Amino acid sequence: MRIKGTFLDEISHDIPHQNWGRNEWDKDFGSMKAVGINTVIMIRCGYKRWITFPSRVLSAEESAHIPAEDLVKMFLELSEKHGMAFYFGLYDSGKYWINGDYEKEVELNKRVIDEVWQLYGHMPAFKGWYLSQECSRKTGQIIDLYASLGRYCKEVSGGLPTMISPYIDGIKNISQYTSDTVRATGVSLKKHEDDWSEIFEGIKDAVDIVAFQDGHVDIDELTDFLKINKALADKFGLECWTNSETFDRDMPIKFLPIKWEKLRLKLEMAEKAGIENGITFEFSHFMSPQSAYLQAGHLYNRYSEYINDHKV
C-alpha cells in the first residue's frame, strides 16, 4: 500500500495558502516523486470567483478574478518535467449545485471543459479529470451531475479517466468552522452501502476511479467502511482507491499534519481491505519537507523510512 497521488489544493476552501512560486512547486514535485507519487490532482480549477487559470468563460460568466499566474500551465509543465500524471479538477461554483441548480453547474462546467481542453489538452501530462463536487450521500441530482460531467470529460478528451473523492458521512463529518471535532452519530454501514450502491449504479460508465476520504469516521470503524467501498466498487466496475488524509481531524487546531502512527494504521487498514492505490489530501501542506508546517517534513521522513523498510 503506497501513496501514489496527491491533491494540489488550489483553490483552497479552508487550508491557509503557502504562497509558493514556481521554484517551490518544482522542488515539491521532486519531493513527491522521491517517495513514489506519480499523480497530481488539482482539486478544483476554481471556486466562486477565485480561479487557477485565465478562464474567459469564468471571467465572463462568474466575474472571476484573473490570476497573476496560470497555475494549470505551470502544474502541467512541472508534471511533464517530473514524469507525473496531471488530473484537472472541475470548477466548483460554491452556489449553483449547493442551491439545487445542478443543471447550471453542469452547463457551466461543460464550457469550462471545452475551454480547458482547447488550452491545455495538447500538453502531454494531461492525463485525467477530477469531478470536484464532493458529496457523502445521494443528495440532489448528484448522480446526474457526476454522470453528465464524467461522460463529457471523457468524450472531449478521447476517454481520459475520471475520478471522484467522496467523503463518508461519519462522526467527524462536521464543519471546519465549528470548534468541535466529533458529533454524536454518523451514517450506518448499511445506509452508506445503500446510498453508494445506487450512486455507483448511476455513474459506472462515467467515473473510473473512486477514492473515498478516510478521515470522517472513527478509526475503529474505518476497516468496515473500506471493505464496503471496495466491494461496491468491484461490483460496479470502478477502481477503488483510498484518499488517506495526511492532516489530523482530532485536534483543536484545524488543521495540522497527522501523526505518523495514525497514517500508518490507515494505510494498513486499506491494504487489508484489498485496496491497492492511495492518494492523499494533501502532500504540500501536510507531508512536504518544505511545508510551512514543519511536522510535515518529519512525516515525510517517517513515511520514507517506512516504504524503505517495507519494499515490495
Nearer to a second copy, 42 or 258 (CB): 258
Question: Pick from 2, 20, 33, 121: which binds a second copy (CB under 8 A)?
Answer: 20
49 scored as a contact of a second copy (CB under 8 A): yes
227 scored as a contact of a second copy (CB under 8 A): no
Contact 248, 254 (CB under 8 A): no
Q: Could you tell me which residues come within 8 angstroms of residue 14 by beta carbon, excluding any fewer than 6 positions away?
A: 176, 254, 255
Nearer to a second copy, 18 or 39 (CB): 18
Nearer to a second copy, 92 or 195 (CB): 92
294 scored as a contact of a second copy (CB under 8 A): yes
Q: Considering only the stretches 14-22, 106-114, 184-192, 199-207, report the one whose residues sit in contact with a second copy under the rule CB under 8 A.
A: 14-22
Nearer to a second copy, 107 or 221 (CB): 221
What are the phi and psi torsion angles at 163 (to 5°)?
-135, 145
Q: Identity (one letter) of the amino acid at 192? A: H
Given phi > 0 = left and psi -120 to 50 = alpha, else beta, which region is 170?
beta
With CB under 8 A as the rule, give the number of residues binding a second copy: 47
217 scored as a contact of a second copy (CB under 8 A): no
67 scored as a contact of a second copy (CB under 8 A): yes
Nearer to a second copy, 67 or 140 (CB): 67
Question: What is the closest distance, in whole angstroms, from the C-beta atom of residue 183 to a second copy in the complex?
Answer: 12
Task: Tell me, residue by residue from 71 to 110, as one string, x for binding to a second copy by CB under 8 A and - for no binding.
Answer: ----------------------------------------
292 scored as a contact of a second copy (CB under 8 A): yes
Question: What is the closest distance, in whole angstroms, from the C-beta atom of residue 305 to a second copy in the complex?
Answer: 7
Question: Pick from 96, 225, 260, 283: which binds a second copy (CB under 8 A)?
Answer: 260
Strand 2-8 to 277-280 pairing = parallel
Question: Pick from 181, 197, 223, 277: which binds a second copy (CB under 8 A)?
Answer: 181
Question: Pick from 158, 179, 184, 190: which binds a second copy (CB under 8 A)?
Answer: 179
Question: What is the closest distance, in whole angstroms, from the C-beta atom of residue 285 to a second copy in the complex?
Answer: 10
Q: Could you tell me which residues come within 8 angstroms of residue 45 by beta carbon, excluding any fewer than 6 positions away?
A: 51, 52, 53, 55, 72, 88, 89, 90, 91, 112, 116, 132
139 scored as a contact of a second copy (CB under 8 A): no
Contact 74, 22 (CB under 8 A): yes
d(CA 250, CA 247): 9
258 scored as a contact of a second copy (CB under 8 A): yes
50 scored as a contact of a second copy (CB under 8 A): yes
User: What residue ranges bind a second copy (CB under 8 A)?
Assistant: 12, 14-21, 24, 49-50, 65, 67-68, 176-181, 220, 248, 251-261, 264-265, 291-295, 298-299, 301-302, 305-306
